[in-house]
């Protein structure tokens, strides 16, 4: 069927090359004979009424979201036995493809996060929830410009006529917020998925993965994610803390908006890039311990006047007792002795044996003076019934383009979850389908 359609005309679009397929749809590279531009064309047979209806839903939603980082739908229609949707062809591919090599740098991940959060905030402000944020639904034009794609699972806030059916959850288990087991999708659940995506961009894998979608989602509900700085020791703890807040189990503990999430990451990144440095005086003689660079608030530093006050207090503390005729040992609770008394004690020592447990006052005082003061640097780290079906996360690794599909109940294109949790490339296959796919 796929090869038979190559060379065919669907309306004004000439099908040139088959890109990939989903359970219910086919994606072709096509030529717009009117504009002579290359496009991606998704086809669904008109006998699949529900899927064609979803096409209409997605096109109408995208028409309301004219944004620089949301992939537009160029056209939609019916032609003979087919429903079709036309989209721009993004040659570079998906974020999933970019993550296949290694995690992103802090700066690159920040650029992706900023653009995605901008697109999501635009949708959220208009009452639209994406519900399927993952690497395969993020397209990169020229490797830099980000497009959020696949609004096939989109839900309007307050819309009871969604795609969720009793006993089922629609989405990708690795990116689904815990509250979706009992509550409707919201901007906070989109934020959670975006947090999982950022975790994956910086560590190379998602925080929760298991052999089945339900087992994976159970982990989302029950387990705490591994700290990003533990999953990737090169990550600063401040960056990890930003991510972990977006991954809080309770939606109310997350950021107020995805824009706030992106802003928190940006601020943490600036702190890492521009630390506040304290320069040691050249005459310092003691060895310096290796420490972590930390931001220090100016208000916590001593002012010059305060430093002089401390020095004067130390001098007075040491000199005044001497002026009063006291020895330094009296500062440790000992009574000074006269020369005669000291001679008498010495004579006594020659006549009797000192008990093994006894220690001289003088030697005890010296021992106390030799006690070292240890400086410690401490850091602290912030310490239902399950639906019958959740979409398993699959990816067709053999498809060199960005147009794979994922249909919740029909997609068999992927390779499943054969990747390990700790492998940098292990989690990169965890993203169901590609950016032009839909779920059913």
Average pLDDT over residues 357-379: 39
Is 310 buried (19+), middle (13-18) or exposed (0-12) by CB count in 10 A?
A: exposed
pLDDT at 289: 33
pLDDT at 52: 84
pLDDT at 150: 86
Rounded CA gap, 417 and 439, in Å? 18
Rounded CA gap, 74 and 128, in Å? 20
Rounded CA gap, 392 and 175, in Å? 11
Within 303-437, strands assigned E span 389-391
* DSSP state letters, 301-335: SPPHHHHHHHHHHHHHHHHHHHHTT--GGGGGT--
Model confidence at 159, pLDDT cuts 50, 70, 90, reads low
Q: Which two tokens stand for residue 146?
A: 């980000």
pLDDT at 79: 86
pLDDT digits (tens, 9 = 90+) for 173-201: 999 999 999 999 999 999 999 999 999 99
pLDDT digits (tens, 9 = 90+) for 272-322: 876 444 433 333 333 333 323 333 333 333 344 443 443 444 344 444 444
Mean pLDDT value across the chain: 72
pLDDT at 437: 43
Largest CA distance in the chain: 122
- Is the model more confident about 142 or about 235? 235
Model confidence at 119, pLDDT cuts 50, 70, 90, reads very high
pTM metric for this prediction: 0.64
The alpha-helical segments, DSSP class H, found in 77-235 are: 95-99, 106-124, 187-203, 213-222, 228-231
pLDDT at 158: 59
Residue among 412, 410, 431 nearest 44 (CA): 410
pLDDT digits (tens, 9 = 90+) for 200-249: 999 999 999 999 999 999 999 999 999 999 999 999 999 999 999 999 99
pLDDT digits (tens, 9 = 90+) for 72-81: 989 888 888 8
Say yes or no to pLDDT of 6 above 60: yes
Rounded CA gap, 189 and 191, in Å? 5
Residue 251: beta bridge partners? none
Average pLDDT over residues 23-36: 89
Say yes or no to pLDDT of 60 above 90: no
Say yes or no to pLDDT of 324 above 90: no
pLDDT at 301: 36
Q: Catalytic positions, please?
A: 132
Give me the domains of the chain, ranges plus CATH numbers: 2-88 (3.30.200.20), 95-275+386-429 (1.10.510.10)
């Amino acid at each position: 069927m796929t090869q038979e359609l190559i060379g065919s005309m669907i309306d004004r679009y000439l099908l040139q090359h088959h890109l990939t397929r989903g359970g219910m749809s086919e994606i072709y590279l096509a030529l717009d004979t009117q504009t002579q531009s290359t496009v991606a064309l998704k086809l669904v047979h008109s006998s699949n009424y529900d899927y064609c209806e979803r096409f209409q839903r997605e096109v109408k939603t995208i028409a309301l979201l004219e944004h620089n980082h949301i992939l537009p739908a160029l056209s939609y229609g019916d032609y003979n036995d087919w429903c079709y949707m036309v989209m721009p062809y993004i040659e570079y591919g998906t974020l999933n493809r970019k993550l296949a090599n290694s995690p992103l740098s802090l700066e690159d991940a920040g650029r992706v996060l900023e653009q995605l959060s901008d697109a999501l905030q635009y949708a959220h402000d208009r009452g639209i929830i994406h519900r399927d944020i993952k690497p395969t639904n993020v397209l990169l034009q020229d490797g830099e410009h980000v497009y959020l794609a696949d609004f096939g699972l989109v839900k309007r806030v307050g819309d009871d006529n969604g795609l969720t059916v009793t006993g089922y959850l629609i989405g990708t288990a690795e990116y689904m917020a815990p509250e979706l087991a009992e509550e409707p999708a919201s901007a906070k659940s989109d934020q959670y998925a975006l947090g999982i995506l950022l975790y994956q961009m910086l560590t190379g894998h998602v925080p929760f993965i298991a052999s089945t979608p339900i087992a994976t989602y159970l982990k989302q509900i029950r387990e705490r994610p591994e700290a990003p700085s533990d999953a990737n020791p090169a990550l600063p703890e401040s960056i990890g803390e930003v991510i972990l807040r977006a991954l809080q189990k309770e939606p109310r503990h997350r950021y107020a908006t995805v824009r706030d999430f992106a802003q928190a990451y940006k601020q943490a990144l600036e702190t890492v890039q521009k630390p506040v440095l304290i320069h040691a005086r050249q005459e310092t003689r003691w060895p310096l311990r290796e420490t972590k660079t930390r931001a220090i608030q100016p208000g916590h530093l001593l002012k010059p006047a305060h430093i002089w006050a401390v020095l004067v207090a130390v001098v007075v503390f040491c000199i005044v007792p001497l002026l009063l005729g006291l020895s330094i040992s009296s500062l440790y609770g000992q009574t000074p002795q006269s020369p005669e008394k000291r001679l008498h004690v010495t004579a006594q020592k020659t006549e009797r044996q000192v008990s093994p447990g006894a220690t001289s006052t003088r030697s005890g005082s010296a021992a106390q003076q030799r006690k070292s003061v240890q400086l410690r640097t401490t850091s602290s780290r912030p310490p239902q019934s399950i639906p019958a079906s959740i979409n398993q996360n699959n990816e067709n690794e053999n498809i060199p383009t960005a147009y794979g599909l994922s249909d919740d109940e029909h997609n068999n294109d992927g390779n499943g979850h054969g990747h390990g949790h700790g492998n940098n490339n292990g989690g990169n296959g965890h993203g169901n389908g590609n950016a032009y796919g839909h779920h059913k």
